[in-house]
Chain A
Amino acid sequence: MAQADMLWRGLRGVALTLVVVFFLFPIFWIVLMSFETNETVLQVPPTLTPHLTLQNYVALLSGKLNTATGIINITFLHNLWNSVLLSTCSVLVALILGVPAAYAFARFRFRGGEDIAFTLLSFRFAPPLLVLLPLTLYFQDIGLSNTYVGLIWIYQLICLPLILWIVRGYFEDASPDIEYAYRVDGHSWWKAFTKIAIPLAGPGIAAAALLSFIFAWNNFVFALVLASADKQPVTVGALAFVTASGIQYGIIAAAIVLSILPTLALALYAQRWLVEGLSLGAVKG
């Protein structure tokens, strides 16, 4: 029995090691690559003691890359800025639109309420191109094509359902009795909403905001279809990078690292709420 137990533990250890290697090695390899010179990157077999350098990051952040054929301008920093701007504004808009609606759905049973809530949820599962392709034509007509406003609006497809359904769960979890008591004291519903309900749902709102930031940041197809180069976030910018000639692999790797660093950091910070966010509030971690 003890021997079987040992064997079982050993197998479990091996399996877990394989799992960890498979899922983490790609990130490790890209991070390593981002600190290597082009010569080291191209070396086969890969060297175990690479000479590490910051030159890739310097080139990315300064926007200038010196090559044998001249200086190449890199706009990656601008892509990074676009990602920050688009994700932050989208989340803020989604919070302003979504938190009051979530409160309404949690506290009131009203005609059409569930229909709105489920229509918003269904956006999460409809093919995004179905909405995006007509929008490219509409946006040209109403002057929203290639604007931040147009993009932020369409980013609500991801942010709003997430905020609405997670925050709704938190409002439902908080008993309305405190709010009623507060109202009976003669305070307005607005005060009850802002002073009692929102603080009670605070952790949920924060979690939903962090998660929708991550999903907005990671989105690719919206900007691919609706934005031209000067409005593109990192996900689309990095792809253009790979196909551009003369960009060294180490620099691509550094761009990848800078693109995924913010979401990984936020995810580690918000990991307590990830389960709930990923399942749109269906499962608690």
Chain B
Amino acid sequence: MSEIPVTPPPLPRRPILPRALPYLLSLPALLVCIGILIPFVTAVWYSLERYNLSMPYMRSFIWFRNYISLFTDPDFWNTIQVSLIYTISTVVLELLLGLGIALLLRERSRLNNIISIALLMPLMTAPAIAALMWKLMTNPGFGVLSWLISLVGVTDFKWASSPHTAMFTVVLVDIWVYTPFMMILLLAGLRSLPQQPFEAAKLDGVNAGFVFLRITLPMLTPFLFTAVLFRTLDSIQQFDIIYAMTQGGPGNSLLVFQVRAYLEFFSYTNVGRSAAILMVLWAITYVLSQVFVRQWMKLRERAHGAS
């Protein structure tokens, strides 16, 4: 802030204004920034406190004991495991499906454009609402999916209400909602690739598999990387789909980071522990987002020209 002349000498107004201008223009956004950073700092503080809303008189600063108790608690390791399984399976499956669909729709034809637009509909559905839709579809009484699998002889498939299949069910909903995200990003990437290498390969009669592995994939890597990191960052924080579908159950089968933190706060009123869980998640997302932002800036400069 040292660049702004605090007490301007009696100069004409004009030259001063433009120097302070960027600050004035971004000041409102900065204030919102600060407004959101305050609760963040509070959360860091809470995570170092013994703080339970039902026992406010016990509140005290306990350094890292919340974290120590978390990492020595098998339940928390279960949360880490469940979150990782959820994140890895959704991101990998969405990547493979999204890439496959993008390749199918690569040619700019009328039909392909209509399909790619239509496929955006799940992505524009609120994830919480999408979970409700699938809850209706997997209803044991009248759900169309329950009926469909009963046709092939599976009658005791319990979808989200059994701990064995709950993960499968929420991953399926996540795939339904977010595969179009991978698809649309990779499709934009595919269509932005220079055409010459593909034309040259075609002239040389190189087979399709070789073209895909040696030309398409390497050139598409920045897009793949960005899309995967983007989805990983969102997926490891997934709350809406899981909460709307099962509220983390049955049992502890779907207690991912944010769902566990939410329950810790609202069911057990344990503010300190809840904040510590979220800080662990924040640390993970912070590292990932640093890598992401670097990658994202590269793509952004490519899209908007270096500036």
Residues of A within 8 A of B (CB): 12, 15-16, 19-20, 22-24, 26-27, 29-30, 33, 41-46, 96-98, 100-101, 103-108, 110-113, 116, 118-123, 125-135, 137-138, 153-154, 156-157, 160, 164, 169, 172-173, 189, 214, 217-221, 224-225, 234-236, 238-239, 242, 249, 252-253, 256, 259-260, 263-264, 266-268, 271, 274-276, 278-285
Contact = CB atoms under 8 A, between A and B. Distances in A.
B188 interface: yes
B112 to A, nearest CB: 9
A110 B22 contact: yes
A260 B257 CA distance: 27
Given A164-B29, A235-B128, A284 B115 contact: no
Which 4 residue pairs across A and B have the least CB separation, nearest first?
A: A218-B126, A104-B25, A101-B29, A108-B22
B137 interface: yes
A264 B262 contact: no
**Which residue, A97, A119, A236, A283, has most C-beta atoms of chain B within 10 A?**
A283
Interface in B261-307: 261-262, 265, 271, 274-275, 278-279, 281-282, 285-286, 288-289, 292-293, 296, 299-300, 303-305, 307
Contacts of A285: 184, 188
A262 B240 CA distance: 19
A259 B278 contact: no
Given A16-B115, A169-B300, A133 B271 contact: yes
B233 A125 contact: yes
B155 interface: no
A43 to B, nearest CB: 7
Contact of B278 (A129, A157, A219, A220): A129
Contact of A271 (B42, B120, B288): B120
**Which residue, A110, A160, A169, has most C-beta atoms of chain B within 10 A?**
A110
A128 B261 CA distance: 11
Interface in B101-158: 101, 104-105, 115, 117-130, 132-137, 139, 141-142, 144, 147
Nearest to A157: B36
Given A111-B3, A129-B239, A26 B226 contact: no
B285 A138 contact: no
A118 B128 CA distance: 28
26 contacts: A16-B104, A20-B119, A23-B179, A24-B121, A27-B133, A46-B147, A97-B32, A110-B3, A116-B29, A119-B37, A127-B257, A128-B258, A133-B261, A133-B275, A138-B42, A221-B258, A238-B128, A238-B132, A239-B128, A239-B132, A242-B132, A259-B129, A264-B124, A279-B188, A283-B303, A284-B192
B136 A252 contact: yes
A42 B147 CA distance: 11
B136 A33 contact: yes
B55 interface: no
Contacts of A236: 128
B23 interface: yes
A220 B126 contact: yes
Nearest to A156: B32
Contacts of B28: 96-97, 100-101
Nearest to B234: A125
A12 B104 contact: yes
A278 B185 contact: yes
B50 to A, nearest CB: 16
Contact of A172 (B104, B132, B304): B304
Nearest to B105: A16
